[in-house]
């Protein structure tokens, strides 16, 4: 369960270019939901996603993951949450280009505080679950966009996080590949994972179970 209460996010506080991106956003996302966050450019949807992904902070409000308050924690604790609770998929894939697909998928396992037996096998299973096991040894620089996004999804799920956050995951893909990637998200959701997708593509949003629309830093 993800719960956010009255989140306020201000960029460049107390400076001449101060900008309030979120004005007290409140919402709940239950375990196993597949949610799309939509809105115009600059509406605050990516800001919200970054806060949910623990890669950005906020000025006021509360953020709970599974009843744990995620605020003012140590950097170590935030890193642990990003590693164990959250899988992140970015529009431009965010892969280490000179790593192989397998090495990329192994990154979260290598940063894990848990003792993980046979990391390689686990990473291969994640690649298998997104249908690209045979590309394990291929450098990411030699993969197509769709293949790269599958690697990114495999990396997002390899540590079995409770939620997968995706920022415009189909934004850099053609229609056919986008559809394949959405099928993959739906499959992951059917396995019980919470999926939150930020998109401006209504076709993508409509495939999700719920749509949250943001406009001018507020949920509409």
Partner 1 sequence: MMLFITALKEFKRHIFMNIVTLIELAVSIILVGVITTAVTIKYKYYGPFRDVYDSNGIYCRFIYAADDFGQPEQTLLYGEQLFPYLSSPEKIVCSNVIKSFPVKDGEFINANCYSFNDELIDRYTPQIGRGRWLKPKKDELEVVVTENNKYGWKKGGYVELDDGKGGTIKAKIVGELKDKQYIAGIPSDNDGNNDFSMFVSYIDSKDTDLPMLIFSSSQLRRYGFDGDACKCALIEYPDSVSGEQLDNDMQTLNLLGSLYTTELKNVRARSIDYFMLQLSNYLPLILVILIMTFISSISIAALSARQRLRDYAIYYICGSRWKSCVLVNLFFSLIISGLAAIGAAAIYHYIPKLPKSVFATLPMTIASDMWVAISVILLIAVYILVSAAMPLIIIGRNTPKEILTGGNNK
Which residue from 55, 88, 47, 61 is spatially nearest to 3, judged by alpha carbons?
Answer: 61
- Relative to beta strand 2-11, strand 210-215 is unpaired
10 Å Cβ neighbour count for 67?
Answer: 7
Q: Could you tell me how far CA 215 lies from the centroid of its own chain?
A: 21
Q: How far is the CB of 132 from partner 1 (least distance, A)?
A: 19
Which residue from 97, 57, 95, 58 is spatially nearest to 78, judged by alpha carbons?
Answer: 57
Of 8 and 94, which has the nearer Cβ to partner 1? 94
Q: Alpha-carbon distance 143 to 178, whole Å?
A: 16
Contacting positions for partner 1 (CB under 8 A): 11-12, 19, 21, 42, 44, 46-47, 50, 53, 55-56, 75-76, 79-80, 82-84, 88, 90, 94-96, 98-99, 103, 107-108, 110-112, 155, 159
Q: Show Cβ contacts of residue 209 under 8 Å, excluding neighbours closer than 6 positions.
A: 33, 34, 35, 189
Of 67 and 75, which has the nearer Cβ to partner 1? 75
Q: How far is the CB of 98 from partner 1 (least distance, A)?
A: 6
Q: How far is the CB of 206 from partner 1 (least distance, A)?
A: 25
Q: Which two tokens stand for residue 194?
A: 């919470």
**Strand, helix or coil at 210?**
strand
Of 2 and 95, which has the nearer Cβ to partner 1? 95
Q: How far is the CB of 94 from partner 1 (least distance, A)?
A: 5
The owner of tokens 């939901």 is 33
Q: How far is the CB of 43 from partner 1 (least distance, A)?
A: 9
Of 76 and 137, which has the nearer Cβ to partner 1? 76
Of 87 and 146, which has the nearer Cβ to partner 1? 87
Q: Alpha-carbon distance 87 to 60, whole Å?
A: 24
Q: How far is the CB of 105 from partner 1 (least distance, A)?
A: 10
Of 108 and 207, which has the nearer Cβ to partner 1? 108
Q: Could you tell me how far CA 136 lies from the centroid of its own chain?
A: 22
């Amino acid at each position: 369960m993800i719960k956010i209460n009255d989140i306020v996010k201000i960029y460049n506080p107390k400076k001449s270019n101060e900008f309030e991106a979120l004005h007290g956003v409140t919402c709940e996302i239950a375990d196993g939901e597949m949610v799309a966050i939509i809105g115009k450019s600059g509406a605050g949807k990516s800001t919200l996603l970054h806060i949910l992904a623990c890669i950005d902070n906020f000025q006021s409000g509360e953020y709970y993951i599974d009843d744990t308050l995620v605020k003012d924690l140590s950097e170590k604790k935030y890193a642990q949450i990003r590693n164990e609770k959250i899988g992140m998929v970015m529009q431009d894939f965010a892969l280490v280009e000179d790593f192989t697909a397998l090495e990329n998928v192994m990154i979260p396992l290598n940063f894990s505080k848990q003792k993980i037996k046979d990391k390689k096998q686990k990473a291969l299973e994640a690649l298998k679950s997104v249908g690209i096991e045979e590309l394990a040894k291929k450098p990411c620089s030699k993969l197509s966009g769709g293949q790269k996004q599958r690697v990114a999804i495999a990396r997002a799920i390899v540590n079995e996080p409770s939620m997968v956050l995706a920022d415009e995951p189909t934004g850099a893909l053609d229609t056919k590949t986008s559809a394949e990637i959405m099928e993959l998200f739906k499959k992951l959701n059917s396995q019980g994972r919470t999926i939150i997708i930020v998109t401006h593509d209504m076709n993508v949003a409509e495939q999700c179970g719920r749509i949250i629309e943001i406009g001018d830093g507020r949920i509409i």
